[in-house]
Amino acid sequence: MTASISKITSRAGIAQGTFYSYFDSRQDLFDQLLPHMGEELIEYLHDRVTHSRDFFEVEERGFRAFFEFLQTHPSFFRVLNEAEVVAPIAYKRHFNELVKHYLKSMGRSVKLGQIKNFKGRELEALVYMLMAARSYLYLRYIKNVGKQKPKKMPQWLVEAYMKFVRDGID
Protein backbone atom coordinates (compact mmCIF):
# COMPACT_ATOMS: atom_id res chain seq x y z
CA MET A 1 0.00 0.00 0.00
CA THR A 2 2.04 2.91 -1.23
CA ALA A 3 -0.89 5.27 -1.67
CA SER A 4 -0.28 8.84 -0.64
CA ILE A 5 -2.94 10.77 1.26
CA SER A 6 -3.58 12.88 -1.84
CA LYS A 7 -4.16 9.71 -3.92
CA ILE A 8 -6.42 8.26 -1.22
CA THR A 9 -8.52 11.43 -0.91
CA SER A 10 -8.67 11.94 -4.66
CA ARG A 11 -9.87 8.39 -5.25
CA ALA A 12 -12.39 8.70 -2.40
CA GLY A 13 -13.60 12.04 -3.73
CA ILE A 14 -12.98 13.88 -0.47
CA ALA A 15 -10.82 16.79 0.62
CA GLN A 16 -7.59 16.12 2.50
CA GLY A 17 -9.01 18.04 5.46
CA THR A 18 -11.88 15.58 5.62
CA PHE A 19 -9.37 12.73 5.72
CA TYR A 20 -7.70 14.30 8.76
CA SER A 21 -11.09 14.64 10.47
CA TYR A 22 -11.16 10.84 10.65
CA PHE A 23 -7.52 9.75 10.64
CA ASP A 24 -4.34 11.17 12.16
CA SER A 25 -2.17 9.86 9.35
CA ARG A 26 -1.95 7.36 6.54
CA GLN A 27 -0.66 4.83 9.08
CA ASP A 28 -3.71 5.47 11.25
CA LEU A 29 -5.92 4.66 8.26
CA PHE A 30 -4.03 1.41 7.67
CA ASP A 31 -4.20 0.54 11.37
CA GLN A 32 -7.98 0.98 11.39
CA LEU A 33 -8.86 -0.47 7.98
CA LEU A 34 -8.33 -4.20 8.57
CA PRO A 35 -9.95 -4.28 12.03
CA HIS A 36 -12.97 -2.46 10.59
CA MET A 37 -13.24 -4.79 7.59
CA GLY A 38 -12.53 -7.76 9.85
CA GLU A 39 -15.45 -6.82 12.11
CA GLU A 40 -17.67 -6.70 9.04
CA LEU A 41 -16.47 -10.18 8.04
CA ILE A 42 -17.07 -11.60 11.53
CA GLU A 43 -20.57 -10.11 11.66
CA TYR A 44 -21.32 -11.45 8.18
CA LEU A 45 -20.13 -14.93 9.11
CA HIS A 46 -22.04 -14.87 12.40
CA ASP A 47 -25.26 -13.90 10.64
CA ARG A 48 -24.83 -16.73 8.13
CA VAL A 49 -24.09 -19.51 10.65
CA THR A 50 -26.61 -18.59 13.34
CA HIS A 51 -29.23 -21.31 13.93
CA SER A 52 -27.11 -24.06 12.38
CA ARG A 53 -27.86 -27.55 13.71
CA ASP A 54 -24.30 -28.74 14.31
CA PHE A 55 -20.61 -28.08 13.76
CA PHE A 56 -20.65 -29.35 10.19
CA GLU A 57 -23.51 -27.08 9.18
CA VAL A 58 -21.76 -24.15 10.85
CA GLU A 59 -18.57 -24.98 8.96
CA GLU A 60 -20.28 -25.33 5.59
CA ARG A 61 -22.31 -22.16 6.03
CA GLY A 62 -19.21 -20.31 7.25
CA PHE A 63 -17.17 -21.57 4.31
CA ARG A 64 -19.81 -20.39 1.85
CA ALA A 65 -20.24 -17.08 3.68
CA PHE A 66 -16.49 -16.38 3.63
CA PHE A 67 -16.48 -16.57 -0.16
CA GLU A 68 -19.75 -14.63 -0.46
CA PHE A 69 -18.15 -11.87 1.61
CA LEU A 70 -15.14 -11.81 -0.69
CA GLN A 71 -17.48 -11.57 -3.71
CA THR A 72 -18.99 -8.39 -2.30
CA HIS A 73 -15.77 -7.08 -0.70
CA PRO A 74 -13.04 -8.06 -3.20
CA SER A 75 -10.52 -5.67 -1.65
CA PHE A 76 -10.64 -7.47 1.71
CA PHE A 77 -8.13 -10.15 0.78
CA ARG A 78 -5.62 -7.60 -0.49
CA VAL A 79 -6.04 -5.44 2.62
CA LEU A 80 -5.60 -8.56 4.77
CA ASN A 81 -2.39 -9.63 3.08
CA GLU A 82 -0.84 -6.18 2.86
CA ALA A 83 -1.71 -5.40 6.47
CA GLU A 84 0.79 -8.00 7.61
CA VAL A 85 3.52 -5.60 6.45
CA VAL A 86 1.99 -2.12 6.69
CA ALA A 87 -0.19 -2.58 9.78
CA PRO A 88 1.18 -5.59 11.69
CA ILE A 89 -0.55 -4.72 14.97
CA ALA A 90 -3.93 -4.46 13.21
CA TYR A 91 -3.16 -7.69 11.36
CA LYS A 92 -2.48 -9.52 14.61
CA ARG A 93 -5.56 -8.00 16.23
CA HIS A 94 -7.73 -9.14 13.32
CA PHE A 95 -6.46 -12.71 13.47
CA ASN A 96 -6.80 -12.84 17.25
CA GLU A 97 -10.42 -11.69 17.00
CA LEU A 98 -11.24 -14.13 14.20
CA VAL A 99 -9.61 -17.03 16.04
CA LYS A 100 -11.41 -16.09 19.28
CA HIS A 101 -14.81 -16.33 17.57
CA TYR A 102 -13.93 -19.54 15.73
CA LEU A 103 -12.64 -21.16 18.95
CA LYS A 104 -15.75 -20.15 20.86
CA SER A 105 -17.89 -21.86 18.22
CA MET A 106 -15.71 -24.97 18.23
CA GLY A 107 -15.76 -25.05 22.03
CA ARG A 108 -19.56 -25.26 21.92
CA SER A 109 -19.27 -28.12 19.43
CA VAL A 110 -16.86 -29.97 21.74
CA LYS A 111 -19.28 -29.57 24.67
CA LEU A 112 -22.13 -30.90 22.51
CA GLY A 113 -20.03 -33.92 21.50
CA GLN A 114 -19.88 -32.89 17.83
CA ILE A 115 -16.08 -32.62 17.90
CA LYS A 116 -14.57 -35.51 19.84
CA ASN A 117 -10.95 -35.92 18.80
CA PHE A 118 -9.66 -32.37 19.30
CA LYS A 119 -9.21 -30.57 22.59
CA GLY A 120 -7.40 -27.55 24.00
CA ARG A 121 -4.58 -26.19 21.89
CA GLU A 122 -5.38 -28.69 19.14
CA LEU A 123 -8.57 -26.71 18.50
CA GLU A 124 -6.56 -23.57 17.88
CA ALA A 125 -4.32 -25.46 15.45
CA LEU A 126 -7.44 -26.78 13.73
CA VAL A 127 -8.84 -23.25 13.43
CA TYR A 128 -5.66 -22.09 11.71
CA MET A 129 -5.71 -25.11 9.37
CA LEU A 130 -9.29 -24.37 8.32
CA MET A 131 -8.57 -20.66 7.86
CA ALA A 132 -5.49 -21.50 5.77
CA ALA A 133 -7.54 -23.87 3.62
CA ARG A 134 -10.03 -21.08 2.91
CA SER A 135 -7.28 -18.64 2.01
CA TYR A 136 -5.46 -20.95 -0.35
CA LEU A 137 -8.67 -22.20 -1.96
CA TYR A 138 -9.59 -18.56 -2.56
CA LEU A 139 -6.25 -17.88 -4.21
CA ARG A 140 -6.43 -20.97 -6.43
CA TYR A 141 -10.09 -21.17 -7.43
CA ILE A 142 -11.84 -17.89 -6.71
CA LYS A 143 -9.49 -14.92 -7.04
CA ASN A 144 -9.78 -13.57 -10.55
CA VAL A 145 -6.35 -12.07 -11.20
CA GLY A 146 -6.56 -8.77 -13.01
CA LYS A 147 -10.33 -8.54 -12.61
CA GLN A 148 -12.39 -6.51 -10.15
CA LYS A 149 -14.71 -9.31 -9.01
CA PRO A 150 -13.67 -12.77 -7.83
CA LYS A 151 -15.07 -15.80 -9.63
CA LYS A 152 -18.09 -17.55 -8.21
CA MET A 153 -17.26 -20.51 -5.99
CA PRO A 154 -18.03 -23.83 -7.68
CA GLN A 155 -20.27 -26.26 -5.79
CA TRP A 156 -17.70 -29.06 -6.14
CA LEU A 157 -15.25 -26.96 -4.10
CA VAL A 158 -17.71 -26.75 -1.19
CA GLU A 159 -18.27 -30.51 -1.44
CA ALA A 160 -14.52 -31.26 -1.47
CA TYR A 161 -13.91 -28.98 1.52
CA MET A 162 -16.75 -30.55 3.48
CA LYS A 163 -15.49 -34.07 2.71
CA PHE A 164 -12.17 -33.00 4.15
CA VAL A 165 -13.85 -31.54 7.24
CA ARG A 166 -16.29 -34.42 7.80
CA ASP A 167 -13.67 -37.14 7.33
CA GLY A 168 -11.01 -35.38 9.38
CA ILE A 169 -13.06 -33.95 12.26
CA ASP A 170 -15.52 -35.77 14.47
- Most confident of the ranges 11-15, 18-22, 84-88, 159-163: 159-163
**Distance (Å, rounded) from C-alpha 57 to C-alpha 25?**
43
> Does residue 162 come out as left (phi exceeding 0), alpha (psi in the -120 to 50 range) or beta?
alpha
pLDDT of 31 higher than 90: no
The per-residue pLDDT for 1 is 44
**Distance (Å, rounded) from C-alpha 146 to C-alpha 129?**
28
**Is pLDDT larger for residue 45 or for residue 18?**
45
**Is pLDDT larger for residue 145 or for residue 137?**
137
Which is the CATH superfamily of the domain at 30-168?
Tetracycline Repressor, domain 2 (1.10.357.10)
Q: Long-range contacts for 104-108 (Cβ within 8 Å, ≥24 apart)? A: 105/49, 105/55, 105/58, 106/55
Domain ranges of the chain: 30-168
The per-residue pLDDT for 57 is 97
